[in-house]
Structure 1
Amino acid sequence: MSIQLADIFQDGMVLQHDQKVKVWGTADPNEQVTVQLSTGTPSETTADNEGKFAVDLDPHTPATDLTLTASTSSEQVKVQHVSVGEVYLLAGQSNMNLLLRYDHDYHTNPKKVLSLIPKQISYYEVPKVKLNSPKDPLYGDRGKWQALNDQTAEQFSAAGFYFAIELAQRIKMPIGLVWMAYDGTTASSWTSKEALMKNPILKKTYIDSYEKLLRDRPKGEYEKFLRMVAEQSKNPENGPFWDNVLMGNVSHDDLCKAYKEHHELFVDYVMGPESENRPHGLFDTMVTKIIGYTFKAMLWYQGESDDAHAEVYDTLLTTMINDWRARWNTTFPVLQMQIAPFYHWFGVFYGTYFPYVREKQQLVTETMPKVYMTNVMDAGMKYDIHPKNKRTAGHRFAMLAFDKIYGFNKHEGAPLVTAYHRNGQEIEISFSESSSLALKSALKQSLVVTAGTETVDYSVKAFDNRLLLSLKDDVSSMPVKVAYQFAPYSEARMFNENGVPVSPFKLNL
C-alpha cells in the first residue's frame, strides 16, 4: 500500500491558523510516517495494524503557498499551494446548498456580485454521497479544493458566498470553506447511529420507525420509486422546469398548476436503503470523510425537513452537535440560522409546524454552550421554501461571527425573550441581544394578544431592550397569550439596533 492522505488534503487547501491541525491518511501497517508543513516542525507517528495514521501539526500563523509533505521510508506525498488562515464548516440542507446562481441579487446583476470576490477564498465541497457504493457520489466527484472566483462562484452556496465576502473584508487572511450540505435532509441523517441509539426518544422516532418501514412496506415499492426517479431524470422538461423554480421565475399560481397538471415532474418520496434521509445515512457517507479537519466554527442552516418531528428537534440537534463535538474532540462554536417564514410551496408542502421548529432552535441556543443563533425572519417567502435573498442570510451569519467569534460587534444574535411580567393590564417583555428595540408599522399583524378566543387590543412602547404592552380591553382577571410571528409565515415588525429581527415567541401570562 502506498501512502495516501484523506481526500480533503489536496492542492490549494486551507488549514486553520493558530490551532493544532490534524492530518490523517493510510500507509502500510505499522510503518513510520512523518508529516511536515513546509519548514514547520515535523510530526511523526506509526500507522496502526490497518494502516491508518493521524498526526497533529503545531499551530501555524496565516500564510500562503506552503507545501504539506507526508512521507515514509520509501515514498513521499506532497500537497502544494497550501494556505493557512480561517476555516469554516458550512453545513445543513437546501438553504445552505442553494447555489449562488439562484440568488436574487446574482440573478439580477451577476457582474456586480462577482466583482465583490477577493482573491483569498477557497472552498471544498464534500461529495454528495448517499450510499457507499460504486454508484456514488450522486452528483459526480466534486470533492476538491477550488478558488472562489467568477468561474466557480455560481456553483457555490449562496449563503456561504455572502458570508465569506463579508468575512474577507474584515479578516485579512486566507479563508477556507468546507461545504457539506444536502437538499431536503433531516438532522437525523447527519447524526451517527451510535448517538441516535443511545437516546431512547431518538431511537424510537428514527431508528425503530425506519426499520419498521422497511419490514412492513409492500414488496417492490422502493424499487418502483427508484425507477420513477430514473425516468424523471430523463424527462427533457425536468431540468429546465426545476431550474426556473429555483430561479424564482415561476409564479405561485403556476407552481400550483404544475403540480396538478404535470405530476410527471414530481416523484413522491419513498424512504429506503439508498435514501439520503435514512437515519445516520449522510453521517456515514459524508460527515465521516471530514471528521477531524480543523475549523474555526460551523455555520448550520437546517431544520425545514424536521417539521414532521418538531417536538424532538431540540433533542435531535443537541445530540448531533454533541456527537460531532466529541468526534472532533473540541467544543467548536455553532452559528445556526433560524428557519425563515414560509406558508406553502406548490400548494401542497406546508410550513404548518415551522413555528415549533423555530422554537426548538431557540431552545438549543439557550441551553448549549457556544451555540449562537441569528435569523432571516424578515427575508422569507410566503410561497417558496427557498428564500432567494441569500445576501441577508450571509450577512447575518457574518455579523454573528464578528460578534460571537471575534468580539468586533455586539448584539448581532437574534433577540430572544429573557423575562416577562404582567401586572393587571400591563405586560413587560425583556429581550437579549438588544439595547434599543425598533418597532415597525403594522406591528399588530405580527404581535397578537388573545384572551380565550378573543383578540385583545393594546398600545405598545419600546424602552431600551424592553417592550411594554398596555391592554385596552379589560381582561385583568383573565389569562392572556402573547404571540409574535408564531405562525408559518408572517412579517417581521421588531428589530434590535443592528437590524436583526426579534425571534418569534409565544407567552402565557
Structure 2
Amino acid sequence: MSVYASSFQSHSSLCSFNSEPYPSQTFRSDFNYCYETPSKKGQWVRSSAKTPQRDVAGEWWSNTPDNVANTSAVAYLFGKYLNEVLDVPVGLIVSTLGGSRIEPWMSREAMDKFAGYGYEHLEEGAKDNPWNDPCLLFNAKVAPFTDFPVKGFLWYQGESNRHNADDYDSLMASMVCDWRARWGGGEEMPFYFVEIAPFRYECNDGTSAARLREAQANALKKIPNSGIASTLDAGNYNFIHPVDKFTPAERLAWMALTDTYGLTGFGSHSPQYESMEIKDGKIYINVKNAPNGLCPMWTSLSGFEIAGDDRRFYPAFAEIEERSCRLAVSSDMVKEPVAVRYCYRNVPEMSVYNVAGLPLLPFRTDDWD
C-alpha cells in the first residue's frame, strides 16, 4: 500500500493505495477503492487538530463515476494505472486542504528540528490557521492512519512554500523520515512526489517557483528511495489548475512500477543535472538518468541561459552533442562563461527529454541569489 500527500497547485492531499485486500472485505481486482479523509457522507469536512488524533472523518468509496468525480484526479489515475498493470485491487487514502504549506502536514517532532516556528496555536482555545500553522493537518489527517499498513508515499505540494523555498528540501526530508518511522517501514518505503507545474505567479519570468523546483530536486539527494515526476510540459502559465492530470499520474506510476514493484523495460526517472565542464568558450553539461541519451538531437534547444563572471545571464545556444549526448551551451555575448541555467523561471521554455520522454529537471550551476 502507499500513501499520497499533495498539493495540486492550490490543493494539498494525502493519499494511500494498497495492492492487497483488507481483512474482512472483498475487493474486485478491476476496481480502485478510495478513502476520502475530508469527506463524510458525501460532505466535505475541513478538519484540523491541535493534538494527534486516532480517528478521522471520512469513508471508503468504490470506483464509480459519481465517486471518482469527487476525488483527486492524480491519485485516482495513479491507482488506476497500477490496477491495470498489476491486476490487483488498489486502495487510495486521500487527505486534502487546498493551498496549504508543508509545515501543517508535519508532526511536532519533525518540526522541532527547525528554528523560528512557534506552537502557541496548539494551545487549547488559541486561534490557528490549518493552511499555515505546523502540525494541524498532520494531527487530523495523517496521525490517524499510522497504524494502517501502507506501501509508500506520494506527495504533490509546494507552491505555498515558494517564499521559504530555501528550507523546503530539509522540511520535506524531515517529514518523510518522520512518516517512515511512524509507519515502521524505514528507508525502503518509497516516497514519490510531483514537481510544481509552471504558473505565472508574480510574473512569467519570476523565479519563486524555480527556487521551489530547485529545492524539490535537492530533496532527491536527502530522501533515500525517492523520485520526482516532472510537470514542466504539463502546466498552464495562466491557470493554476492545469487540466492535464494524466501526465503526473502516469509518471508517478512508472516510478512505482519500476522501483517498488520491480518491472523493467522502460524509463521512469527524469534526467537531472550532474556536472559541468568549461572548455573553449562553452559549458558542457552532463546529466544522469539518461542511459540512452537526450533528445531532440540535431536542433537548437530553448530554455538555456549562460553567464560570465559579471553574473549577467544571456539567452544561450544549446544542443546535444552527437557522440557524448552531453549538452553544449554557449553564447556570442559571453566569451568566458562560468554558469548555466535551464528552465529557471516560473514559466520556463522547456525543450529537453531523455529517450523515455521524461523532461530534464530544471537546474542552475551557480549559487547566486
Is contact 2:159-2:196 (8 Å) kept? yes
- Please tell me whether residue 177 in structure 1 is matched to residue 92 in structure 2: yes
Q: Deviations over 1:118-146 (max 9, x none)?
A: 8321011123543349xxxxxxx861111
1:234-313 to 2 correspondences below 5 Å:
272-313=127-168
1:94-493 to 2 correspondences below 5 Å:
94-95=8-9, 97=11, 119-127=30-38, 128-132=45-49, 143-197=58-112, 199=113, 202-204=114-116, 207-208=117-118, 211=120, 272-331=127-186, 332-344=189-201, 352-409=207-264, 410-434=266-290, 435-439=292-296, 444-451=301-308, 452=310, 453=312, 455=314, 457-463=316-322, 466-469=325-328, 471=330, 473=332, 475-476=334-335, 478-493=336-351
Is contact 1:436-1:464 (8 Å) kept? no
1:356–1:440: structure 2 CA closer, same or farther, 3 Å change rule? farther
The residue type equivalent to 1:484 in the other structure is Y
Is contact 2:295-2:320 (8 Å) kept? no
Give percent identity, aligned residues only.
Answer: 26
How many angstroms apart in 1 are the aligned matches of 2:205 and 2:138? 27
How many angstroms apart in 1 are the aligned matches of 2:248 and 2:255? 11
1:391–1:169: structure 2 CA closer, same or farther, 3 Å change rule? same
Indicate which of 82, 89, 108 corresponds to 2:3: 89
* Aligned-residue offset at 1:442: 8.5
CA root-mean-square deviation: 3.3
Identify unmatched segments of 5+ residues in structure 1.
Answer: 1-86, 100-116, 134-140, 215-270
Is contact 2:5-2:12 (8 Å) kept? no
* Aligned-residue offset at 1:194: 2.0
Is contact 2:36-2:94 (8 Å) kept? yes
Is contact 1:98-1:158 (8 Å) kept? no
Paired residue secondary structure (2:65): coil
* Aligned-residue offset at 1:350: 10
Paired residue secondary structure (1:395): helix
How many angstroms apart in 1 are the aligned matches of 2:203 and 2:343? 22
* Aligned-residue offset at 1:376: 0.7
The residue type equivalent to 1:429 in the other structure is I
1:340–1:125: structure 2 CA closer, same or farther, 3 Å change rule? same
Indicate which of 332, 346, 364 corresponds to 1:506: 364
* Aligned-residue offset at 1:481: 2.0
1:316–1:132: structure 2 CA closer, same or farther, 3 Å change rule? closer
* Aligned-residue offset at 1:349: 11
Paired residue secondary structure (1:501): coil
Aligned to 1:260: none
Q: Deviations over 1:337-365 (max 9, x none)?
A: 11111113xx7999741111111111111
* Aligned-residue offset at 1:378: 0.5
The residue type equivalent to 1:314 in the other structure is D
How many angstroms apart in 2 are the aligned matches of 1:459 and 1:97? 36
The residue type equivalent to 1:342 in the other structure is F
1:459–1:498: structure 2 CA closer, same or farther, 3 Å change rule? closer
The residue type equivalent to 2:287 in the other structure is F
* Aligned-residue offset at 1:188: 0.5
Is contact 2:343-2:363 (8 Å) kept? yes
Q: Which has the larger radius of gyration?
A: 1
Is contact 1:431-1:466 (8 Å) kept? no
* Aligned-residue offset at 1:471: 3.0
Paired residue secondary structure (1:189): helix
1:351–1:131: structure 2 CA closer, same or farther, 3 Å change rule? farther
How many angstroms apart in 1 are the aligned matches of 2:304 and 2:235? 17
The residue type equivalent to 1:122 in the other structure is Y
Q: TM-score, normalised by structure 2?
A: 0.81
Ranked by relative contact order (alpha carbons within 8 Å, sequence separation 6 or more), the top structure is: 2
Is contact 1:479-1:508 (8 Å) kept? no
The residue type equivalent to 1:486 in the other structure is Y
How many angstroms apart in 2 are the aligned matches of 1:454 and 1:174? 51
Q: Deviations over 1:56-106 (max 9, x none)?
A: xxxxxxxxxxxxxxxxxxxxxxxxxxxxxxx3212112449589xxxxxxx
Aligned to 1:232: none
Is contact 2:297-2:322 (8 Å) kept? no
Paired residue secondary structure (1:151): helix
